[in-house]
Amino acid sequence: MHAPRSTPIIEPELLMLAYRSGIFPMSDARDDPEIFWIEPRLRAILPLEGLRVSSSLARTLKRGRFEVTCNRAFSQVMDECAAPRRARASGDASDDSGSDDGGNDDGGSWISHRIQASYENLHFLGHAHSIEVWREGELVGGLYGVGFDRVFCGESMFSRASDSSKVALCWLVAALRRGGTTLLDCQFMTSHLASLGAVEMPQKKYLALLQAAQSGQPTAVHCSTAGSSTGSGSATVGDALGLADAAGAGVLSLPEAFAALLGDAKSCGLASSPGKLIAQLLTQTS
């Protein structure tokens, strides 16, 4: 169920201006037509070179337990993020229970129908994106957020299978690094995000990073150029990844960067198991 037709969406120009200014909207309940604007005193970010990938998570990536896509099911991801956690608890237990979910244990959600309709419109306009994690054709994890310049603002994630939201985050970080993004905003710190390498800072410092990321200054993506060879005649992981700014490539949107990662996997001989590329990339510097 989506926002009633009578409920006006938040104008996309206003939404993007808010994000560029370090502000974002929330609501008190799923059916609440009102919104309020949040500027946290403390802000959480995830340094793109600082994602902590455990050995078990790396194995999950390499084994290809999940199919990962970008922008295939944006509205469905938002539905899942807004759903009460206990309603999503069917199936195997998840160790992502502390993830940054939009749903609440009491059945409420800050992702109102109005907010969802507004972000679905942003998605249509090319400013909001999702990462989906699938198992045997079923959506079992994912995240969504807003991207602009060299910034990605993560909004919410969900998990209905062990490690699924972590896999989504790994692909997100790898794609953002591949595309030349420099700032991954997580909004509020949680113990789950802290365990993955997120750090907290005063809003004033965040705003300085936000301004720098929007300034268009050259951005170095610190990818190793000494990746392991995938076989005779194959490119190394580092050779395939290179730098996002090389040859004037500039910054890529999340869908463009995601597609570039799949191309990298193919050039490395990993087209059938791209998770191996993601694991190698992230564990080279994690």
pLDDT at 91: 36
* Bridge partner residues of 132 (DSSP): 69, 142
Average pLDDT in the 38-58 region?
96
pLDDT digits (tens, 9 = 90+) for 221-234: 333 322 333 333 33
Q: Does residue 107 or residue 151 have the better pLDDT?
A: 151
Average pLDDT in the 256-271 region?
96
Distance CA 286, CA 274 (A): 18
pLDDT band at 247 (very low <50, low <70, confident <90, very high): very low
pLDDT digits (tens, 9 = 90+) for 179-214: 999 999 999 999 999 999 999 999 999 999 999 999
pLDDT at 269: 94
The answer to the question of residue 192 being in a domain is yes
The answer to the question of residue 231 being in a domain is no
Averaged pLDDT of the chain: 84
Q: Does residue 84 or residue 18 have the better pLDDT?
A: 18
DSSP string, 19-74: HHTT-EEE-SSTT----EEE--SEEEE--TT-----HHHHHHHHHT-SEEEESSSH
pLDDT at 108: 66
Q: Is the pLDDT of residue 93 over 70?
A: no
Average pLDDT in the 172-178 region?
98
pTM to 2 decimal places = 0.83
The answer to the question of residue 234 being in a domain is no
The answer to the question of residue 238 being in a domain is no
The answer to the question of residue 119 being in a domain is yes
Which range marks the domain in which residue 60 is found?
12-218
The answer to the question of residue 152 being in a domain is yes
> How crowded is the C-beta side of 110, counted as CA atoms within 13 Å?
11
pLDDT digits (tens, 9 = 90+) for 73-88: 999 999 999 998 654 4
pLDDT band at 284 (very low <50, low <70, confident <90, very high): confident
Residue 262: closest CA among 285, 241, 284, 248:
241
Count how many domains the chain has.
Answer: 1
Average pLDDT in the 95-105 region?
47
Report the CATH number that the domain containing residue 104 is assigned in CATH.
3.40.630.70
pLDDT digits (tens, 9 = 90+) for 133-155: 999 999 999 999 999 999 999 99
The answer to the question of residue 141 being in a domain is yes
Range 205-212 contact pairs with CB under 8 angstroms and sequence separation of 24 or more:
205/43, 206/22, 206/43, 206/45, 207/22, 209/45, 209/183, 210/20, 210/22, 210/151, 210/183, 210/185, 212/182
pLDDT band at 250 (very low <50, low <70, confident <90, very high): confident
Distance CA 188, CA 194 (A): 10
The answer to the question of residue 239 being in a domain is no
What share of the chain in percent tops pLDDT 70? 77
DSSP label of 229: B
